[in-house]
A and B are shown apart, each in its own frame.
Chain A
Amino acid sequence: MSQRILTVDNISVAYDAVKALNDFSLEVNKGELVTLCGVNGAGKSTALKTIAGVLKPTSGTIDFEGQIISGKSPEAIHKMGISLVPEGREIFPSLTVAENLRLGAFGRFKQSDFNADLEDMFTLFPILKERYRQAGGLLSGGEQQMLAIARGLISRPDLLMLDEPSLGLSPNMVDSIFNLIQSLKARGITILLVEQNVERALQIADRAYLLSTGHLVFAGDPKELEREMVTSVYLGQQQKEGARS
């Protein structure tokens, strides 16, 4: 079997008194594309932010490549090889594309690697070469998303986490983002993908997790989840159950 690189073991996360995640567990193996699905407010972004170190779990542990990372700072976790492309892109608007990319490599910078990686990003995203000296804030939404992904990739992460990369993009752009994710997977990059566009995510994922109001309700084969969703277990019954309880 393939090698496990991330193990999230029974973590709970709360914003002040409000629990956002309850006893959540998840695993990612090397080279896998794993998707974490759920409706708005299910706790998907909370899960990614906790793995990245922005939020601290109140209980449970997160293990990355054999080391416990829960409790470490975001910068330390980035240095170990986890890169989060945050929801809403969060590029630095007044910094140029060049500066955004340079900062992406801040924690793991090596000049020799950087030049090669930059060329690599230009082949993946030719538009970034065209706009290299422009302020990030002047880019269109789709271009900003490409910049955000490139900024996440340029540190050569062992695990790339994408939080809603297709959010707010035109249908064409959504297509190219999903194509891109597939080609990143083909390169052997390990990806943890959070998406609201569940159908598209399930089509390309190796394994899937489904969150509902902070609880894990499914873990396994994306095909199976898709079938269950078609019979509207997730959209129909689950929500009714939630309303009753």
Chain B
Amino acid sequence: MTLPVFLSFIVDTLGLGSQYALLALGLVVVYGIMGLVNFAYGEYIMVGCYVLYLIGLYANLPWPAAFALAIIAAALLGLLTEMIAFRPLRGRSLDALLVTSFAISVILQNVFLIGISPRYKSIPYPAFFDRRIDIFGVVTSLRSYIFIAVTLLLLIALTLLMKKTVLGMAMRAASENFVTARLMGVPANLVISSAFLISGLLAGVVAIFWTAKEGMVGPTSGVAPLLIAFIAVVIGGMHSLPGAVLGGYVYAFLTNALGLWLPPGLSPFREAFMFVLVILFLLLRPEGLIRGNYTEERVG
């Protein structure tokens, strides 16, 4: 492999990894506090994509406005599902919450299946995403650089939120020991709603990334990203936000590397290799690469 090819591989991997890192982060931010794997998370992304599709169809908005609306829609959806569906069941069994998240997922898929179409629809997105960038012979699409930059900014913002604000402090405390945090006067609703809002916001950003890569949306568009988020989280660690980010990048590296080095005949089975990896992680290192704080604490 020549140097330029290697470097473009790195840039592509970082670009893809950025997308996966945000994906995994959105899943873990809720899991860390509630102990719930939110299976409706993929649908937050799907709704973000549909918002872009609908804007493209009915309103001729400038790109920044369209993107902002998609992010807001996904974030609000995260918040609403928490308030309408999860909150009434809080303190009940975790299984009830889990089934609820499946229910939300199925309902949302069917809303768009019936309301729009079971078929995949193409989403317009700005052409600059696909522009080829040549830096000293390293040819990649501009997309990768945008993903990397946006993700970096979001990670910095999120780190500042978690480390420097009282809300972030309360969220970290709640993910370590929810009951004790409430005993200090930290409102359960505030912390959980914030987690869902952040989760939805990240899903909205991922929806834009996803659109820029796939260009299509359908009722089952949320399934693939959810699966990727789940695998990344298993690799990186369920109990730590940095673990989720790391897991996203590791996933991207492995899938890109497999795509590059697997014999062409085996390429279609790339996913199978990833699943084997997940099984190995669950067997040998269930806490993931970064252990974080194990809390068996539940919302009660």
Contacts and interface: CB of A to CB of B under 8 A. Distances in A.
Interface of A: 52, 54, 73-75, 78-79, 83-84, 86, 90, 92-95, 99, 102-109, 151, 155
Interface stretch (B37-45, B152-160, B174-182, B250-258): B174-182
B182 A73 contact: yes
Contacts of A108: 185
Interface of B: 166, 169-170, 172-173, 176-177, 179-188, 293, 300
Contacts of B186: 75, 103, 106-107
Contacts of B185: 75, 78-79, 106-108, 155
A92 B177 contact: yes
Contacts of B172: 92, 94-95, 99
A94 B183 contact: no
A95 B173 contact: yes
Contacts of A102: 166, 169
A79 B187 CA distance: 10
Given A103-B181, A108-B185, 4 more contacts: A75-B185, A92-B177, A102-B166, A103-B186
A33 B100 CA distance: 47
Nearest to B167: A106
A73 B178 CA distance: 13
13 contacts: A54-B179, A74-B182, A75-B186, A90-B177, A90-B180, A92-B176, A92-B177, A93-B293, A102-B169, A106-B185, A107-B184, A107-B186, A151-B184
Contacts of A75: 182, 185-188
B169 A95 contact: yes
Contact of A104 (B176, B184, B188, B293): B184
Contacts of A99: 169, 172-173
Nearest to B169: A99
A151 B187 CA distance: 17
A79 B190 CA distance: 15
B91 to A, nearest CB: 10
Contacts of A78: 182-185
A145 B154 CA distance: 37
Nearest to B191: A75
A135 to B, nearest CB: 11
B176 A74 contact: no
Contacts of A86: 180, 183
A92 B180 contact: yes
A83 B176 CA distance: 19
B173 A103 contact: yes
Contacts of A92: 172-173, 176-177, 180-181
Q: Which of B170, B176, B180, B183 has the most CB of A within 10 A?
A: B183
A12 B176 CA distance: 30
A84 B185 CA distance: 11
A240 to B, nearest CB: 37
Closest 3 CB pairs of A and B: A107-B185, A78-B185, A74-B182
A103 B170 contact: yes
A187 B187 CA distance: 30
A62 to B, nearest CB: 16
Contacts of B180: 86, 90, 92
Nearest to B182: A74
Nearest to B293: A94
B299 to A, nearest CB: 12
B284 to A, nearest CB: 25
Contacts of B188: 73, 75
Contacts of B184: 78, 103-107, 151, 155
A103 B186 CA distance: 8
Contacts of A107: 184-186
B170 to A, nearest CB: 6
A153 to B, nearest CB: 12
Contacts of A105: 184
A146 B300 CA distance: 27
B69 to A, nearest CB: 34
Contacts of A79: 185
A108 B186 CA distance: 10
A52 B184 CA distance: 10
Nearest to B172: A95
A90 B181 CA distance: 10
Given A92-B172, A94-B172, A106-B170, A74 B177 contact: no
Contacts of A151: 184
A74 B183 contact: yes
Nearest to B190: A75
B166 A106 contact: yes
Contacts of A90: 177, 180
Contacts of A104: 184
A108 B184 CA distance: 9
A99 B162 CA distance: 12
Given A93-B293, A99-B169, A106-B170, A52 B176 contact: no
